[in-house]
């Protein structure tokens, strides 16, 4: 595939200037988003038509989200990082209010037993997607320029409390997959920002224990998913059905796939093929070569993100870039791992590719910030980047 060759060049080329890294991020995101539009239409058109509904419904919606996502990307790309740092508290506060609103009957919408959505202007939105960016920005702002003060537990406790609150509200929706992702990324950002590991252990150990106890006692589906993952053949038509069908789809693709639009699993055999299991459609229609090409694009995006982080102009940009790059990378890996039955299902979308407005806007905003950080990065002599970003204490 052409995208594979372009990705190989991006992976192999030597360190670039900040503007080139920013443009590389933009091109890679655009390629993934364009592929997502094609795959969403391929995955939904036949199944929707079989239900005597508009075959282009999901295509038109995805194009709408892509248009809005483009605007969000451009806005994030031009956002003043200093302004973002100063308003981090407002951003995380708004996120908490939205997460609380989801749990209120009449405001939050319940789908498949979970309250994760709010209805806005005829569309469903997921505040947990907003929480991914809000926590990264908040943790980065809290740690920036305070490395010495963070050695005191009193200075780190408020940040840990906010992280625990957001993760807890997300978990009781329930959305354990996103809650765990939020906790992981926030922990890495706090550690990179100078929070001592012992502080995280003091607070994190009991928090994880409570979260695990809650999941096992109150969320029966968590135990069922783990059991089905351990022995898929024991319940192929129940909890393990989606994973079982996804593996069949990927396996039937062979080296080069059955052809774009020729998937059989999308004929109502594999539910949610256009959302959480879009990678199964990639494997079936584009084959092993196509699936690897898509993985290479994500790998190239993460490499460019790491280059942007390595040249970040200050602590705040460094920490935001770290969080954003980690989030995009972990989401991609988890989505592929679920589709290939490597981990239990978690309900995490493939960034820029899966159908969904909230995930598209959140990913676009994250990528826009990453492109901004790359564009404002430091350069050394002859335009080459400085090899290391050294975080030094500065005045708050």
Q: pLDDT tens digits, residue range 247-270?
A: 888 888 888 888 887 777 777 677
Average predicted confidence (pLDDT) for the chain: 81
In the predicted model, what is the mean pLDDT of residues 196-202?
86
In the predicted model, what is the mean pLDDT of residues 77-95?
93
Q: Is 67 exposed, middle or buried, given 0-12, 13-18 or 19+ CB atoms closer than 10 A? A: exposed
Among 197-201, 224-228, 242-246, 376-380, name the one with the lowest average pLDDT: 224-228
**What is the model's pLDDT at position 293?**
94
In the predicted model, what is the mean pLDDT of residues 281-307?
93
Both structure tokens of 230: 């351990």
> Max CA-CA distance within the chain?
64
Cβ contact 313:22 at 8 Å: no
Task: Indicate the pLDDT class of residue 387, thresholds 50, 70 and 90.
Answer: very low
Assess whether pLDDT exceeds 50 at residue 386.
no
- Residue 355 CB coordination number (10 Å): 26
Question: For residue 11, what are the contacts with CB-CB under 8 A and spacing of at least 6?
Answer: 296, 299, 300, 303
Instruction: Tell how far CA 226 is from the center of its chain.
Output: 22
Cβ contact 131:179 at 8 Å: no
**What is the model's pLDDT at position 249?**
84
The percent of residues above 90 in pLDDT, for the chain, comes to 39
Task: Indicate the pLDDT class of residue 175, thresholds 50, 70 and 90.
Answer: confident
**Exposure string for 230-267, b = 16+ CB within 10 A, e = fewer:** eebeeeeeebbbbbbbbbbbbebbeeebbeeeebebbe
Per residue in 219-255, pLDDT tens? 555 666 666 555 655 555 455 677 778 888 888 888 8
């Amino acid at each position: 595939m052409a995208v594979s060759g372009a990705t190989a060049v991006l992976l192999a080329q030597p360190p670039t200037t900040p503007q080139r890294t920013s443009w590389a991020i933009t091109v890679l995101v655009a390629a993934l988003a364009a592929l997502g539009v094609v795959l969403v239409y391929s995955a939904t058109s036949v199944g929707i038509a079989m239900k005597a509904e508009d075959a282009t419904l999901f295509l038109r919606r995805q194009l709408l989200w892509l248009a809005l996502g483009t605007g969000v990307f451009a806005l994030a790309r031009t956002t003043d990082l200093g302004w973002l740092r100063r308003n981090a508290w407002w951003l995380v506060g708004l996120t908490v209010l939205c997460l609380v609103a989801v749990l209120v009957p009449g405001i939050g919408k319940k789908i498949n037993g979970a309250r994760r959505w709010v209805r806005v202007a005829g569309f469903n939105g997921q505040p947990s997607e907003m929480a991914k960016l809000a926590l990264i920005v908040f943790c980065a702002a809290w740690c920036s320029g305070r490395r010495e003060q963070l050695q005191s537990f009193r200075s780190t406790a408020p940040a840990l409390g906010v992280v625990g609150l957001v993760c807890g509200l997300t978990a009781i929706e329930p959305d354990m997959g996103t809650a765990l992702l939020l906790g992981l990324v926030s922990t890495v950002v706090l550690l990179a920002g100078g929070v001592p590991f012992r502080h995280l252990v003091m607070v994190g150990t009991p928090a994880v224990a409570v979260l695990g106890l809650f999941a096992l006692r109150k969320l029966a589906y968590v135990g069922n998913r783990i059991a089905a993952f351990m022995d898929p053949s024991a319940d192929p038509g129940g909890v393990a059905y989606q994973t079982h069908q996804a593996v069949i789809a990927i396996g039937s693709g062979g080296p080069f796939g059955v052809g774009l639009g020729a998937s059989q699993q999308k004929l109502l055999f594999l539910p949610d093929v256009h959302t959480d299991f879009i990678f199964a459609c990639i494997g079936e229609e584009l084959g092993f070569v196509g699936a690897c090409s898509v993985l290479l694009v994500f790998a190239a995006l993460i490499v460019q993100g790491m280059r942007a982080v390595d040249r970040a102009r200050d602590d705040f940009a460094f920490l935001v870039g770290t969080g954003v790059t980690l989030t995009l990378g972990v989401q991609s890996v988890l989505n592929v791992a679920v589709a290939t039955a490597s981990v239990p299902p978690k309900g995490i979308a493939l960034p820029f590719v899966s159908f969904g407005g909230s995930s598209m806007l959140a990913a676009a905003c994250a990528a826009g910030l990453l492109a901004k950080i790359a564009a404002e990065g430091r350069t050394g002599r002859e335009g080459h980047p400085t090899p290391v970003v050294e975080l030094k204490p500065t005045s708050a």
